[in-house]
Each structure stands twice: as structure tokens, then as C-alpha cells.
Structure 1
Amino acid sequence: MSSLAVPPAWAGPLPEANPPSDMGVYHLPTGTYQTRAALAVRGGSLRDKRPFAASATLVRHPAGDLLIDAGFGADLTQHLAMLPWYMRSPHQAGHTAAEQLDAAGYDRGRLLGVVLTHTHWDHASGLDSLRGTPIWLNTAERQHAANEPDGKVFRSVSQGHEIHAYDFGSGPYLGFPASHDVHGDGSVVIALAAGHTAGSVIVFVTVPSGKRYAFVGDLTWQLDGIRRRVERPWLMQKFADNDPALVREGLLRMIALDALMQIVPAHDLGAYDGIPRLTHARQPR
């Protein structure tokens, strides 16, 4: 196993954030699929079978709520059939994000949209049950989804959805070159972290307690990538990443921030520990 060099810890001040008192973050797990650690991170064991998470995350804010990714959808079987045979891992489906929102009595009219960390199938599948909810995409990721084979499921489930285009006009953020401050208060900031796909992003969230989260999508598939400073296996890099060098840069930036926030790779089930589920008692006002 070849670990990356230890980057200097982030030494600058953290960006200012003023989250409102009734802001919160909630985990909506929609299922898992099975992948061997050897295919996820360098040095992983073939015997180590891991349940890769497929989740959505609700970020509530009085100015309007967002979902980060959409997890598995109601038509999961159909979506799996669109994939090459070698990508159809054994899976276990749970309740969709839409079903969980409805079960909690959540008013979906509060949703400003779904911010996709990128447009791969296991992040976009659940859009099929979120009709009427806009999809937030930057220009590079929209073009990627329109032109690349891995955008097939997204192209199917995004039909009929409004695309809310956003740009990166808020400047650099925690070492990443460009960002978009969603509410203008620093509580939800989308940072460009291209590499896995052309327009991949990280969503940084700060809650009233001061705790910070980084929802890093597929920058790394497991926290091992951060804690052990390892990339994807070489073959998986070639297969999965649009630009492995850019992924490495982003990974090093996040390793430098590890002590300052909870880093949540989309597919690491344990990385969501401590993030509450949405219930009637916790639903946004």
C-alpha cells in the first residue's frame, strides 16, 4: 500500500459561518450495495465486504431546505438494468428519500432542490421519486451528465425536473478553488472539487453548535481514504475518475481538514454516525 504524503494541517482561520438557530442536518439512508474493500481503497482486503451507503442528506434552513444527493429510487431495479453487468453489485434497498420525507410529515414545498455531489446513478436514482424538486447542477457537471455513458441513469430520472444552474462566484474555500455560498451566511457552501467527474462538488455545512460537516461525494469512497491517506486502486481510478490527479489534490485538501470537521464520503455508512434521522419531532418548522 502506498500512502500519500502527510499534507500540512489547515493553519488558516475557518471561513465565517452564521447558521440560523433552527438549522439542522438529517441522514436519509435509502439502502446499501456490497463492494469489497480491495476495490475501494489501496491496500483494502478482498475478504472485507463492505455495505456501501446510498443516502440522501437533508439540510434544513429557514430560507429553504436542500437534499444532498438522492440515494436509491423507487425504480432501482430499472436503474440497475441500465448499468454494465460488472457494476450491478448485490444491493439492499430501503425506503426512498421521498418516502422518508413523507413519513415524517415533511412539507416537500420547503425543498429548494437536490444538490448532487455528481450525477452518477447511485447519487441520482432517487430523483425518480422527487418529482417537482429542482436539481442543482453546475455547468461542468451538467455537460458531463449529458455526454458521458455514466450519465445514463441521470438522464432518465432527471426528465421533467427543473435544472437550477449555479455558479461558483463566492471565491476559494478551504483550499478549493471556487465555491457557491447558498444562503449567503456561510452555513451551506458548495465547493468545486472536480476530478471524479467534471463538475463534482463537496458540500460544506456548518450547524448552530459550530460543528462542521463536509459531504465529499465520491472524492473517496471510504473514510480509509482520509485516515490512511490512500487513493482508489489504480484500476478503479482509471475506470471511475475523470481526472485522478485532481481527485488526489482534493483528497489531500480534505486530509488537511480532517481534525476540523466530520468528513462524510457518500458511500461510507459509518461516516454518517451522529447525524440524526428525520422524525416527526425533528422536522423543520
Structure 2
Amino acid sequence: MRSFRSAPLPEPKPWTAPLPDAAPPADMAIYQLPTGTYENRAALAYRGGSFGDLRKFAATAVLVQHPAGDLLIDAGFGKGVEEHIAAMPSYRRSPHELGATVHEQLRAKNYDMSRLRGVVITHAHWDHVSGLDELDVPIWMNPAESRYVERAKDAVVFRDIARTREIHGYTFDGPPYLGFSGSHDVHGDGSIVIVEAGGHTDGSVVVFVNLPDGRRFAFIGDLTWQLEGVTLRAERPKMLRMLADVQPERVRDGLLNVIALADRVHVVPAHDVRAYEPIPEWAGSRGGV
């Protein structure tokens, strides 16, 4: 089926300044932990997408191993995912396939859970936090996202899970970072930097991970749902922007920031299975990509 052609976002000037300093330790590593997928049509994901293009959207967590303590970025599907999906409005209940949860994958490879400092959520929507139901570790969240989860209907799953979880609050106490207004350097070595990228939710974030071999990743949550948001400069369709984003104009600004970086940083939209291909799946070893 032919897609409706629409004008892309204006092309931002590529980032040509030096990238921020980073001194990641030699034994730092990242892994992907896929927990399942759900179906959506490209036409609903980005402007110009085809209704005939039915895609599997990722529900994947990322484990970042660091000698000062490991972190997960998002949590994927959890043990209670069927109940979590049922808590959503009917129009958001997409067909889905379930895999092993993050907890099951870590346990199967004898991961030492005492190493896990917590889960940094890119935002508090159900498909990013479902897997928290089996992870008794702190949830990393900034004040703006804390305010969001107190009021938002879309945070009902998070509120239910978080009642029995520790919240590790952090602030954007660092300088602007790669076009984003504020930052938080997790370990103080530039290896994991969380930046303020509100708009999808009040306190949604992008997490930059900088590896010892020089490669850099930007885990952008839902600034765009598919890579075409970056490669074609195609934001969400207007109706989806109104439904999905609390401040669509801020999402657009954040997406343009990421587009400007795309030649120098590997961009990972949370729900695009293709974006995770350079990241090895968790296999219980400490190697890196």
C-alpha cells in the first residue's frame, strides 16, 4: 500500500563540535535483553509510513555493566504484562509476543543482582516499566517524571508497581549536553549521562552511553518510535502527537537534537528492533560490543 507523502522536518545543522569528554572504564559493557514485541503499523509511527507496513515494536531493556555498579535502561515486559496491557484503553492493546523477562534472563545466567544499582526509566509508560514488577531494585526518576506519574492516566501501571519499590531521585545537576538543556553524569566519568528531554512525558529522558572503544549510543526512549523519525526526519502523525505527547513541540526539539547527532552517535529509539542490532544479547559474560 502506498503511503501518504509528507514534508520532513527541517534538516538541523549537524553537530560538528567536539563530543563531551568521557573516560569509561575498560571493562564497561552493554547488552540488550529483548522481552517481547507488539504490533503497530508504520503509518501510526511516523509521518509518511504505510498502513500496509505492519511492524514488531521492541520491548527491550539494556544492561549497562560498570565496575561502579550496573544499571538497566528501561525494563521491558514483566511477569504481569497481560494485566498491564489490560489496564490500558482498548485502542492501545496491540497483539503481542512475549519472551523471557529481564529477571528471568539475568537469573538464567547467574547474574549477581547485588551489582544492579537500579533501573533508569526513559519514561513511565507501561511498556517501559512492566518488567519492574520482578526487579526489587531502585527506580531512577527525576522530579518532573515524579510529578507526571502522580497525575497521568498513562502511568497507572507504574504507580501500581512503584508502591513497593524504592525511588532513587536524581536531578539534572550537570551542564547542557549535546544540545539538551541539562544533564546528570551517573558515575562522574562521562560513561553514562542522562539528559533532560521532556515532552513525551513531563520528565522523559535520553540516556547517552559512551563505551571504552569510543562508540557512543543514545537511548532516546519515545522521541520517535521508529528509526525513520531520524533517518527521514519524520515525526509522529499529528493525531498521534496529540494523543501520545504532553508537549509535542518539545518532542520535536529533542528529535531535531538527535538528528543532528546521528552521524556521530548510534541512536536507539526504544521500540525499533533494528536499532538494537549492534548491541549483543545478554549471555552472562562481561564482554562488550
Distance of 1:212 and 1:3 partners within structure 2: 26
Q: Does structure 2 conserve the Cα–Cα contact (< 8 Å) formed by 1:30 and 1:93?
A: yes
Matched, 1:215 2:219: yes
Matched, 1:176 2:185: no
Find the residue that maps to 2:236 and give its secondary structure.
coil
Distance of 1:104 and 1:45 partners within structure 2: 40
Q: Give 1:203's match in structure 2, choosing from 198, 207, 217.
A: 207
Q: Give 2:26's match in structure 1, choosing from 21, 26, 33.
A: 21
Matched, 1:67 2:72: yes
Q: Give 2:63's match in structure 1, choosing from 52, 58, 65.
A: 58
Deviation at 1:123, TM superposition (A): 0.1
Distance of 2:280 and 2:24 partners within structure 1: 18
Deviation at 1:47, TM superposition (A): 0.3
Distance of 1:87 and 1:176 partners within structure 2: 30
Deviation at 1:283, TM superposition (A): 7.1
Letter in 1 for 2:171: D
Give the 4+ runs in structure 1 shifted more than 2 A: 280-284
Structure-2 residue corresponding to 1:255:
259
Q: Does structure 1 conserve the Cα–Cα contact (< 8 Å) formed by 2:176 and 2:183?
A: yes
The percentage of counterpart residues that share the same residue type is 56
Structure-1 residue corresponding to 2:138:
134
Matched, 1:161 2:168: no
Q: What CA deviation, in whole Å up to 9, does each residue of 1:237-281 have, x standing for no partner?
A: 000001010001001000000000110000000000110111133
Q: Does structure 2 conserve the Cα–Cα contact (< 8 Å) formed by 1:217 and 1:265?
A: yes
Structure-2 residue corresponding to 1:109:
114
Q: Does structure 2 conserve the Cα–Cα contact (< 8 Å) formed by 1:104 and 1:283?
A: no
Find the residue that maps to 2:118 and give its secondary structure.
strand
Find the residue that maps to 1:255 and give its secondary structure.
helix
Distance of 1:29 and 1:157 partners within structure 2: 20
Distance of 2:149 and 2:277 partners within structure 1: 31
Deviation at 1:236, TM superposition (A): 0.2
Distance of 2:89 and 2:109 partners within structure 1: 36
Q: Give 2:195's match in structure 1, choosing from 162, 167, 191.
A: 191
Deviation at 1:11, TM superposition (A): 1.6
Find the residue that maps to 2:220 and give its secondary structure.
strand
Deviation at 1:160, TM superposition (A): 1.0
Instruction: Work out the number of aligned pairs and report it.
Output: 283
Q: Give 1:12's match in structure 2, choosing from 7, 17, 34.
A: 17
Structure-2 residue corresponding to 1:243:
247
Mapping for residues 82-101 of structure 1, pairs under 5 Å = 82-101=87-106
Distance of 2:286 and 2:24 partners within structure 1: 17
Letter in 2 for 1:234: K
Letter in 1 for 2:93: R
Q: Does structure 2 conserve the Cα–Cα contact (< 8 Å) formed by 1:106 and 1:283?
A: no
Distance of 1:200 and 1:234 partners within structure 2: 20
Q: Which runs of 5+ in 2 are unaligned?
A: 1-5
Find the residue that maps to 2:57 and give its secondary structure.
strand
Aligned CA RMSD, in angstroms, stands at: 0.9
Deviation at 1:104, TM superposition (A): 1.3
